[in-house]
Structure 1
């Protein structure tokens, strides 16, 4: 009995195929459409600027910052719970020790203050807020006063016309809470040392009272 051997792998000269043939099955040469390849190239080229813009460390651009801003906006809707806060020493002390509301103050700070004072308060154009030296502050109320009215002939702008009164108190509480962290910034100590902040009373540590 005659037997024949079949070459399962051979080549074809058809210009529309890759030249491969296996058991009579030809592999056609179908290149990807040009539009698909350009979309792929464009998506690769888009990645570096996207990464630099959203993940390059610029404040306010990350997903976390977007979430924080949305959280702060939602929290402002809850201001009815605490009424309109007055920028007194007692009130600022209360909110210095209330984590949830101090977090709102942190968001207000990161939204409006980092360009001058640094993301963590370490100082940039403006003074370091984490050391023991103060230029325009002698007590807690002065922090809110400076935020409201500005200082240094406008170098520190007035924020009373841009922030809700509660935001002023809460960001003042957050700024006060930075004292003693002693983060290193580009500016050296400025101003003078002042007495320590007062401690909260037992009732203030439990829960901030509603004020109007």
Structure 2
């Protein structure tokens, strides 16, 4: 039987070593991985919105949470509901994902304002009461400068993104857009949580 491998010309304590090169396919796969890595880095870590692992996770989380809407039923876009959910961290996070998926091109990633107004200060252009947030998300404002989302978002999503926007008030994000509109009274206090009925 012929052995195509040849021994290397060194020996350690009488131990010899064959020259067993890596398979060509393995070496080319390694080279291809290195060549592909800049493309991967630019795509997923180059700063484009919605492409980072974190952003993809947030979108998947929101999709999963929509399946949980049966847990909370149909939310009413009234002041009590919006304020209550603005204090529920798990649902505020859902509202944040909805916001970052749809609203950052006008309002900035953190609500600091770009084309649209700053949502983190105390000044509001079309809002007098907290429930007005949901009305504007639903129907739009400013001659369609703010588009209507009633045909693109689930009613619960409108309430939850409104709760998130309400929670931004007073954050005063650094580098935010200047005041736009007038200062309005504070949001009402969060209502007490309804007591759960005792199971028989």
TM-score strictly above 0.5: yes
> Is 1:50 matched with 2:40?
yes
Q: Deviations over 1:131-182 (max 9, x none)?
A: 1111111111111111011122222111100000011011101101000000
What SS class does the counterpart of residue 167 from structure 1 fall into? helix
TM-score normalised by L of structure 1:
0.78
Aligned residue among 137, 142, 157 for 2:127: 137
**Structure of higher CA gyration radius:** 1
**Which aligned pairs between 1:11-50 and structure 2 lie closer than 5 A?**
20=9, 22=11, 28=19, 32=22, 34-50=24-40
Is 1:182 aligned with 2:191?
no
SS of the residue 1:39 aligns to: helix
Shift of 1:24: 10
- Give the count of matched residue pairs: 190
Q: TM-score, normalised by structure 2?
A: 0.82
1:17 to partner: Cα distance: 6.7
> Unpaired segments of 5 or more residues in structure 1?
1-15
Check conservation: 1:59, 1:119, Cα contact below 8 A: no
Provide the aligned C-alpha RMSD in A.
2.6
Aligned equivalents of 2:70, 2:16: Cα separation in 1: 75
CA–CA separation in structure 2 for the residues paired with 1:207 and 1:107: 27
